[in-house]
A and B are shown apart, each in its own frame.
Chain A
Amino acid sequence: MAEYFVARGLPVPPELRRTPLTDWRRWSLIGATLAVLYVGVRLLDIDLSRANPAYAGTRIVSLLQWDLSILTPQNEFETFWDTAGGLMIITIFLGVVATAISIVFALPLAFLGARNIMTGNPVASAIYGVARVLFTVMRSIDVLIVVIIFSVIFGLGSAAGVFGLAFHNIGVLGKLYSEAVEGIDAGPPEAITATGATRFQVIWAAVLPQIVNPFISFSIYRLDANVRLAPVLGFVGGGGIGQYLFQTINLSQYNKAGLIIFLIVVTVALMDFASAQIRKRLV
């Protein structure tokens, strides 16, 4: 094949110069990947000898034998909100409130972090840079770590969970929102600027109508994600049903833990389904 190109004085396409089996770059890439995996496995020292299938079997069975008593108050001091069902609802709202808080902060920050809005002078560009770095920092610290830090400030409980989750989510939503702002059609803002409108009026009349749908879509997506995250936050002191689950596991109350896990799975599945439906209808 290559002769065809050589005979006509044309450059030979790289695809014809090498065959897949003789390409040394491909082989060296495969070799490097295998080497990394080998080192990793040796370092981890994965030990299967301590697995105890018989013991695990009885535990798994008890995870499925639900103790339904946790669905009702255990003593005269408890109310519905101390039961597994009540705690599940509280945990859902933990996600909802955290999302709401983060939307309030991310909304204005998103405009400060959008290059097409922050143009014109060095101050605007500087604010843009700061907003972007802020989003990245807030996003890159894992939620669990944020909640641990916040539980030091607020003590164990819902406050650490809500604010920690909100903090992380401002970073995620800020990035998503500001990218939606950067993706708008620049024509309408230009036209409204030409009518003599202020920068604020331009955003109001020509930018907002273009971003309402992506903003709602991203918000619902994050609400879904936050409600999914909320039950885990209790493990690190963020309150809600996670704290209860953590307790039951530590006390080896697997009949209770199984039911709690089931509640969480059902909630997450419902949330996932509802969020997908709403977002599908929006787009």
Chain B
Amino acid sequence: MPALLEIRDLVKVYGRGTRALDGVSLEIHEGEFVVLIGLSGSGKSTLLRCINKLVEPTSGHVMFDGTDVTLASGQDLRRIRRRIGMIFQQFNLVKRSSVFANVLAGRLGYRSPWRTIASRPSREDVALAFENLGRVGILEKAYVRADALSGGQQQRVGIARALMQQPQLMLADEPVASLDPATSHSVLRYLEEINKTDHITVICSLHFLSLARRYGTRVIALKGGRVAFDGRPLEIDERRFKEIYGEDAVEVEIGVTRTADEERAERAAKLLDVSAFSDAATDASIER
């Protein structure tokens, strides 16, 4: 099976000589849920933005479904872009517009500029917008201003907007980095659902390894603009973790399956740790 996305020797050098991507080569197949990990500044965002050419790569190629994105421009580029959905850390909704208007905007790539201003949205587009709002569970908020929604709800609007493109590929740039753990799971479950039921390939950058293990079918780690790891989520052990994040890094868990009881127990344990610094406890430890 040919790859849906083929990235060859991708290099991106920013104005002041920063090499954000330093020769990345990847093949991503249809149906994968790829999680991108790596430190801030390792090139995750740049890589995602080179795929739909929001960022122009310095050299190398990105082949999407047999077409070279890096060489495309104008109408050809827009045709490619509309098959690639994207969601963002800051959701990037038009805050003053309604949820419905935001979702409908996902369809712009299919409409002529003239029709954008001169006519009302087509019946099919409206129906599709409501269908997608229903899918992400915010149908009843359709006419609310986008900034009146909570972070998690705004990200779901972002997903609905991207689904309007009926994309083959979904790019997610730190989609849960500004959300709390519970909301993060709710958002990622929607991505998982569109990956499984709609067979939309997902490339999603995440900060938490626990989330990467839980949702990814494949994990790609970037370090200094190069691929530092590419494999199954469970292959990332202590040694690999330190390779990716540096010697000083400690893995932090984001609650996946912990119950309230476990959390309480952990808090209690932390309190005990703190008491170790009191004099009595210090004496006791010296005796030991």
Interface centre among B83, B109, B158 (most CB of A within 10 A): B109
Task: Give the residue name and chain of the A residue nearest to B105 (CB).
Answer: A205
The answer to whether B113 and A210 have CB atoms under 8 Å apart is: no
Cβ-based interface call for B116 (8 A) = yes
A92 cross-chain contacts in B, Cβ below 8 A: none
Q: Shortest beta-carbon distance, A205 to chain B, in Å? A: 5
The answer to whether A195 and B117 have CB atoms under 8 Å apart is: no
Cβ-based interface call for A142 (8 A) = no
Q: Shortest beta-carbon distance, B97 to chain A, in Å? A: 5
A194 cross-chain contacts in B, Cβ below 8 A: 52, 54, 81, 84-86, 171
- The docked-state distance in angstroms from the alpha carbon of A194 to that of B84 is 8
Q: Pick from B87-95, B183-191, B269-277 the stretch touching chain A.
A: B87-95
CB-contacts of A168-203 with B (<8 A): 185, 187-188, 190-198, 200-201
A196 cross-chain contacts in B, Cβ below 8 A: 77-83, 108-110, 165
The answer to whether A197 and B108 have CB atoms under 8 Å apart is: yes
Task: Give the residue name and chain of the B residue nearest to A188 (CB).
Answer: B94
Task: Give the residue name and chain of the A residue nearest to B111 (CB).
Answer: A201
B161 cross-chain contacts in A, Cβ below 8 A: 191, 195
Flag A114-149 by CB within 8 Å of B: 1 or 0 each: 000000000000000000000000000000000000
Task: Give the residue name and chain of the B residue nearest to A206 (CB).
Answer: B94
- The docked-state distance in angstroms from the alpha carbon of A187 to that of B155 is 13
Interface size class of A (residues with CB under 8 A): 20 to 34
The answer to whether A192 and B108 have CB atoms under 8 Å apart is: yes
B43 cross-chain contacts in A, Cβ below 8 A: none
The answer to whether A205 and B84 have CB atoms under 8 Å apart is: no
Cβ-based interface call for A20 (8 A) = no
Cβ-based interface call for B106 (8 A) = yes
The answer to whether A187 and B117 have CB atoms under 8 Å apart is: no
- The docked-state distance in angstroms from the alpha carbon of A196 to that of B93 is 16
Which residue from A185, A187, A197, A204 sits with its C-beta under 8 Å from B109? A197
Cβ-based interface call for A209 (8 A) = yes
Flag A196-226 by CB within 8 Å of B: 1 or 0 each: 1110110011100110110000000000000
Q: Shortest beta-carbon distance, B142 to chain A, in Å? A: 17
Task: Give the residue name and chain of the B residue nearest to A186 (CB).
Answer: B92
Which residue from B81, B116, B164 sits with its C-beta under 8 Å from A204? B116
Cβ-based interface call for B267 (8 A) = no
Cβ-based interface call for B96 (8 A) = yes
- The docked-state distance in angstroms from the alpha carbon of A195 to that of B171 is 11
Q: A191-B88, A205-B108 are in contact. Are A210 and B54 (CB under 8 A)?
A: no
Interface centre among A190, A196, A198, A200 (most CB of B within 10 A): A196
- The docked-state distance in angstroms from the alpha carbon of A258 to that of B20 is 71
A192 cross-chain contacts in B, Cβ below 8 A: 105, 108
Q: Shortest beta-carbon distance, B62 to chain A, in Å? A: 14
Q: Shortest beta-carbon distance, B121 to chain A, in Å? A: 12
Q: Shortest beta-carbon distance, A193 to chain B, in Å? A: 6
A213 cross-chain contacts in B, Cβ below 8 A: 96
The answer to whether A206 and B54 have CB atoms under 8 Å apart is: no
The answer to whether A190 and B94 have CB atoms under 8 Å apart is: no
- The docked-state distance in angstroms from the alpha carbon of A117 to that of B150 is 30
Q: A196-B78, A196-B165 are in contact. Are A201 and B92 (CB under 8 A)?
A: no
The answer to whether A190 and B117 have CB atoms under 8 Å apart is: no
Which residue from B78, B88, B94 sits with its C-beta under 8 Å from A198? B78
The answer to whether B94 and A210 have CB atoms under 8 Å apart is: yes
Which residue from B52, B85, B94, B108 sits with its C-beta under 8 Å from A201? B108
Q: Can you pick out 20 interface pairs between chain A and chain B where the beta carbons lie within 8 Å of each other?
A: A187-B90, A188-B94, A191-B93, A191-B161, A192-B108, A194-B54, A194-B81, A195-B81, A195-B85, A195-B86, A195-B106, A195-B109, A195-B161, A195-B162, A196-B77, A196-B79, A196-B81, A200-B116, A205-B116, A212-B96
Residues in chain A within 8 A of chain B (CB atoms) = 185, 187-188, 190-198, 200-201, 204-206, 209-210, 212-213
Residues in chain B within 8 A of chain A (CB atoms) = 52, 54, 77-86, 88, 90-97, 105-111, 113, 116-117, 158, 161-162, 164-165, 171
Q: What 8 A-B pairs come out closest when comparing CB atoms?
A: A196-B109, A196-B82, A187-B92, A196-B81, A191-B92, A197-B108, A196-B78, A194-B86
